[in-house]
Structure formats: C-alpha cells, structure tokens
Amino acid sequence: MEIPETRYARSGDVNIAYQVFGDGPFDLVVVPGYVSNLDLSWQNEPHARFLRGLASFARVIVFDKRGTGLSDRVPIESLPTLEQRMDDVRAVMDAAGSDRAAIFGHSEGGVMSILFAATYPDRVRALVTFGAFAKRIRTPDYPWAPTLEMRRAAWESVAANWGTTASSREFLETVAPELLGDDAFVRWFAGFLRSAASPGAASALLRMNSFADVREVLPVLRVPTLILHGTADADVSIEEARWIASRIAGAKLVEMEAGHLYWSRSGDAVLAEIQEFLTGTRPAPEVDRFLATALFTDVVSGTQRASELGDRRWRELIEKHHALVRRELQRHRGREVDTAGDGFFATFDGPGRGIRCATAIRDGVKDLGIEIRAGLHTGECEEIAGKVGGIAVITAARVRERADPSEVLVTSTVRDLVHGSGIAFADRGEHALKGVPGEWRLYAVASA
C-alpha cells in the first residue's frame, strides 16, 4: 500500500495533519503516543504492517497531534491542554467525514482517548488503549507512576539531548529494549524523533503529559472498552492497566507479552485483539514459507556460571555476550528471531553466512571467559504472526543440543550446500534427534 495522502484539518487556528486509508465498514481513529510523524511512520516496516492490518477491516484515520510531526508547531510556552487535543480529534473526524468511530489510543494518546470517549460517547463506538496510564505523577493513591523528580529529570534530559543517537538508545531502553541491537534502526529512530518534534517541544510535551490525570473520568465511560497492556512494559506498569480496567464498567483487560511499543515485537498479536474486539472475528494467521538457515546458540554451563558469579556479574557478562552476538548477526546479515536467557535463535539467507557467524561468536566469547555451542540446519521455515517455526527450526535446536563446548555442529544438508566454499568439516556420525524423524549425520565445523 502506498503512503496515503496527507491532508489538513483546521482546529481553531492550528492545522492538524491527518491521513485516511482503508475502506472497512466502520471508522477507526488512531491517536498516537508522545510524538509522531505520519510520513516517516510508514518507513518502519513493523509499524507500516500494523497500519495495513488495521486497514484490512476498518477505514483508518491517523493524525499528528498539534506541535508534532506534520501538524503546526505551537508556542512552547502555551502547552496544548487535553481539551484542545480533544478538539483536534473532533476536527480531524469532521474533516474526514466521520460521524462516529472506534478510537485506538497509545500511551499518552490513550489518556486523551479516554477523555474523548467519556466526553463524546455519541461519536465513539468503542475504545481501545495500549500502554495507557491514568496519572503520570506518583501519589499514595496511585503508587505505580514515576515521581515528580523522575519526570522533571526526564524532560530536562529531553531538552538537552533530544534526537541524538545516545538519547535514542536511552528512549528505546524504556519503550523497546529489544530493538537496541539494531544499530541502523537506532540511528533511524533518532532521525524520526527529530522530525517528530523539536527539543523544546518534546520537553514541553513531556512536561504537559506529566500532569495528566483522568482517574475520575474512568467510572464515567459508557462505551465498550478494551485495555491492552504489555507485561514487560518498562514505561507504564501493568498494575496501572489492571487498576484502570477495574474502574471502567465492563472493560476487558488483555495482558500481553509485549513492551511499550505496540508494533515492536507483538504487533500481530495486538492487531488480532483489536480486530476481534471491534469485529468479533480474529484474522486468519498468514503463513509465509521460505528457505532459511536456522542457528541456535547457548552458553555452556550457563546456570553453573551464573551461580558462581552472582546475579550482578552474571548479568553484566550476559549483556556483553548479547552485544557480541548481535554485532556478529548484523555483520553476517543474520536475523535475530528470539533470545531466552543466554541462548539465541537467528536465521540467515545463506548457510555459509550462518556458519561464519556462529564461528565468529564462538571465537569472540572466549575473550569473555565463556564457551558456547551452536547448531545449524537449512530447510523450509514458516512465519506465522511474526514467529518463525517449522521442522527446520526444531532440527537446528536439536543439533545444538548434540554439540560439544565450543563446537559448531551442522547437518549434512548444510555441509552439502556450502560445498566449494572452503569451509572444512569433521564427521560426527549419525544421531537421532529428539522429535525429528530419522537418523541425521552431523558434522563439526573444523575451519571457516
């Protein structure tokens, strides 16, 4: 789908940028979080995929809030109030010809969406939030929010460092730590933030949303409401979502294995929940089949080493291990699929790159005083709802289990595919692999 045309709605004396796409039977307004940029959002494939998913069942209306993205900048000294931002939602709906719509609000946008749905129930057919909070400053009766001192430090840091690669990393550590290993994305995200708001505006907006409080509004809500929240959200506590849901009559709460960004690692799952809530039907999972080389690694005697080193030193060691693995994955065009504890699962578009990546990791971690073992197999993989699986994946995992310390073990399939590449192997004989039919001849990489 091409990037939709950007249009402008007049809200008072401010122009609000918006886009409309999809031709579903009802309207769905997406209220962004902290900052956004309509055009650049489509450059991020996971986010673009999420938007296309919404358009498969709804007519979607997205916009940049005043002071951000493609909308008019506003004086920093006159911060937009929640009331003004509600006016912006209404102006965009009017301009798009939408009398009534479902509202999906993320993070700070969830706060405004809650207030809009309570104020204009005749214009809201349903409300969905993700990572929303009811209050942003900690008090005895709302103990999950940051303290005022923490928020002040945050907006002062934003004013001083906004849009740098370092600040981009700091931001991602809270909202999407799983993306920190992708250096190209970190650099892109820094540019996205610069295009979404100026340093002064970003700081002012953070200061503004720090004093938002919609707790008393929650019992007033009378529209069907779905509260989505990630259990791994380091920005807004899952306890806040549970409290919010308990205060809204009939609200449905869905706790998900996700962080603060709905599109980052759980976009398909979030999309399925929204579609089912708004239409009564979940999307059929799309299955993509492709040929790939699957690599599994783990640290030898990891549990024992963790016990010997203690929690702090083990965590520091694993952070160095993860950084090394991710550097090698990037260098060898590997795709990180999953990580659990001290283990990695990645795929490659060529077995030679997979082998060379595995041996580089094996050699590199020796400087950290640890050993890894690795297993590789090439075969047909399938991707369902963003997760990679299939018998080839299971086979690679079982091959790793057969590997000795500091050994990179592969199947005969992998060995045959890299014939003539200069990679040498040592025959390790035939083995039965748990859960995989037949006998498998395995080979250890002797030199790569």
- Alpha-carbon distance of 54 to 266, in angstroms, equals 14
pLDDT at 340: 83
Sign of CA dihedral 10, 14, 19, 23: negative
SS3 426: strand
- Alpha-carbon distance of 436 to 448, in angstroms, equals 27
Q: Which residues does residue 290 pair with via DSSP β-bridges, in sequence order?
A: 381
Could you report the per-residue pLDDT of 415-445, keeping only the tens digit for each?
A: 999 998 999 999 999 999 988 889 999 999 9
Domain boundaries, the chain: 7-279, 287-447
The model's confidence at residue 285, banded by pLDDT at 50, 70 and 90, is low
Q: What is the value of pTM for the model shown?
A: 0.68
Sign of CA dihedral 345, 350, 352, 357: negative
Q: Please, is 418 exposed, middle or buried when counting C-beta atoms within 10 Å of its C-beta (0-12, 13-18, 19+)?
A: buried
In the chain, the amino acid numbered 103 is: I
Q: Pseudo-torsion of CA 421, 423, 426, 432, nearest 10°? A: -70
Could you report the per-residue pLDDT of 359-413, keeping only the tens digit for each?
A: 999 999 999 999 999 999 999 998 876 678 889 999 999 999 999 999 999 999 9
- Alpha-carbon distance of 380 to 347, in angstroms, equals 11
Share of the chain above pLDDT 90, in %: 76
- Alpha-carbon distance of 63 to 321, in angstroms, equals 41
CATH number of the domain located at residue range(s) 287-447 in this protein? 3.30.70.1230
Side-chain-side CA neighbours of residue 225 (13 Å): 29
SS3 312: helix
pLDDT at 281: 85
Using the structure block, give the residue that is written with the tokens 């400053």: 137
Contact 71, 79 (CB under 8 A): no
Q: Which residues does residue 189 pair with via DSSP β-bridges, in sequence order?
A: none
- Alpha-carbon distance of 171 to 190, in angstroms, equals 10
- Alpha-carbon distance of 331 to 358, in angstroms, equals 12
7-279 homologous superfamily: Alpha/Beta hydrolase fold, catalytic domain (3.40.50.1820)
